[in-house]
Amino acid sequence: MNVLLLYPEFPDTFWSFKHALKFVRKKAASPPLGLLTVAAMLPPEWEKRLVDVNVAKLTEKDLAWADYAFISGMVVQKESARQLIARCKEVGLTVVAGGPLFTSEHEQFEEVDHFVLNEAEGTRAPFLTDLEQGCAKRVYETSEFPDIRETPIPLWELADLKRYASMSIQYSRGCPFNCDFCNVTALFGHRPRIKTSGQIVAELDGLYSSGWRESVFFVDDNFIGNKRRLKNELLPALIEWRKDKRGITFNTEVSINLADDEPLMRMMVEAGFNSVFIGIETPDEESLTECSKIQNKNRNLVEDVKCIQRAGMQVSGGFIVGFDNDTPSIFQRQIDFIQKSGITTAMVGLLQAPIGTRLYERLKREGRLLGHMSGDNVDGTTNIIPTMNLDTLREGYKKILRDIYSPKNYYRRVKTFLREYKAPKFKASLDMGRIMAFFRSNIRLGIFGKERIHYWKLLLWTMFRRPKSLALATQCAIYGYHFRKVCELHVR
């Protein structure tokens, strides 16, 4: 049995990092962790081939080789998924689909032969049994949340790791919070299910032995969902593992209450974490109440961000406009917050309602849905009818992007961040790729870029004020270039 594992293309969004990747000569941010994990769950005698169209083309030879095509992806990859499915059906391939996109919207894909939905640990076995017996059903789904301590190590050997800027790993699934616009709990539940530290170390050993020496992203939707297990088991294991390792650093997603726990922050930094993504959403207390973002309420969010920065971790942030309580003043308030906080990577999007969320169900009852969401956090679309005038909302959203990613304000924000940031003492590996990225940025940003004056001012300021953070300042400049290119595409 020959199985083709297909991963659809990401559009040009904030999260694609397409324009930043050119500086390091990489094709994509990270390989498809879900597909590589599913591959490890398939019968070992099956032949498997990964085609990630973000890094390679799907060829006629690939299609002719395959007996089955397994495809997975997220909502933002929807259009590319349709194209791949159509190509498979043209040559008569049986298509099996799973993952977040199809779990939420499988009714929209009539050409797919079999859907293996929810988490593969729970639905893969009955599908494979029926397939072997020639009686496979069209849809396999479950309401149960499987024990991920049984999840195998991904088949990294299927991916060409040199084409990616970062690797991905998963420690937990589920989140203890219940934000009404987020579909994480609908997909994975409220109780974080956790792998053992031995599993994580084994996965990291596999990456390290393959020669990987760069960043590893823990894809958990809330890495600190179970602080006790994190402090007592995983972080001590990571600290021990990194003692004789060079180069690998970690980043992940957390909730803002990380700022309340100094021992946890210290342990994360010692374990190698240098960056965290946090859903800030909005500085407006009423909007936080509206969306049940209780963990963000009654706090000094700017000071919380700076606290994490001072601990040695950069903070990236997610922001939303379009809540029912938002007024036109929210646009400038978001700009002011982002600038004061020093959050350089600020992912701002219009509120959207994913299927399965409490927000989706409420707006459905109110007759305020406009179909399915795009999944793109920067295309300026929404699938809801907002209380604010839609044109006002869109123009205000564009104003935020134009403002925060203008060279003047972006580079000012980088300095705000670097003033707070305490660089951790990592065993960094200065390879030729990083050196070349530095020189490419000097040419593209420092000579030909619109931001060249701001770029050189930042580098000079960093060399004299924060010399240990010169590489980080350059990275921020490269990311800023990517964000501006994406804004130019979407903001007219």
Q: Are 256 and 308 part of one and the same domain?
A: yes
Q: Which of 420, 447, 468 is the last residue of a domain?
A: 420
Structure tokens at 434: 């990083």
pTM equals 0.96
pLDDT tens profile 254-301: 999 999 999 999 999 999 999 999 999 999 999 999 999 999 999 999
Q: Looking at the structure, tell me whether residues 79 and 198 fall in a common domain.
A: no
Does 82 lie in the same domain as 129? yes
Both structure tokens of 136: 């496979």
Q: What are the pLDDT digits (tens) for 173-218?
A: 999 999 999 999 889 998 999 999 999 999 999 999 999 999 999 9
Average pLDDT value over all residues in the chain: 95
- 360-375 in b/e form (b: 16+ CB < 10 A) is beebeeeeebeebbbb
Residue 256 shares a structural domain with residue 405? yes
User: Is 87 in a helix, a strand, or coil?
Assistant: helix
Percent of the chain with pLDDT over 70: 99
Residue 472 lies in a domain: no
Token pair, residue 466, equals 């924060």
In this structure, are 117 and 212 located in the same domain?
no
Domain termination site, one of 140, 156, 189? 140
| Separation CA 281–CA 337 (nearest Å) | 11
- What is the per-residue pLDDT across 146-162, written as a single tens digit (0 to 9) for each? 999 999 999 999 999 99
> Residue 42 CB: number of other CB atoms within 10 A?
18
Predicted confidence (pLDDT) at residue 376 exceeds the cutoff of 90: no
Domain shared by 121 and 215, yes or no: no
For residue 438, tell me if it sits in a domain: no
Q: Which tens digits make up the pLDDT trace of 10-60?
A: 999 999 999 999 999 999 999 999 999 999 999 999 999 999 999 999 999
CATH number of the domain encompassing residue 34: 3.40.50
**Tokens, residue 482:** 């990517």
**From start to end of 125-183, where are the E strands?**
139-140, 166-169, 172-173
Enumerate the H helices of 445-492 as residue ranges. 452-465, 470-490
Give the 3-state secondary structure percentages of the chain, helix then strand then coil, rounded to 5: 50, 15, 35
Question: Can you give the three-state secondary structure of 381-449, one letter per residue?
Answer: CCCECCCCCHHHHHHHHHHHHHHHCCHHHHHHHHHHHHHHCCCCCCCCCCCHHHHHHHHHHHHHCCCCC
Tell me which amino acid residue 454 is: H
Instruction: Decide if 276 is inside a domain.
Output: yes
Residues 85 and 21 in one domain: yes
- Phi, psi of 244, rounded to the nearest 5 degrees: -115, 25
Domain contains 74: yes
The pLDDT value recorded for residue 430 is 60
The CA distance from 86 to 243, in Å, is 49
In a domain, residue 338? The reply is yes
- Domain of 73, in residue numbers: 2-140
Q: What is the CATH number of the domain that holds 360?
A: 3.20.20.70
Q: What is the DSSP letter of 169?
A: E
Same domain membership, residue 102 and residue 216? no
Task: Choose one of 402, 420, 438: the last residue of a domain.
Answer: 420
- Provide the b/e sequence for 218-256 (b: ≥16 CB within 10 Å): bbbbbbbbbbebbbebbbebbeebbeeeebbbbbbbbbb
217's enclosing H/E stretch is: strand 215-218
Tally of domains within the chain? 2
Residue 238 placed within a domain: yes
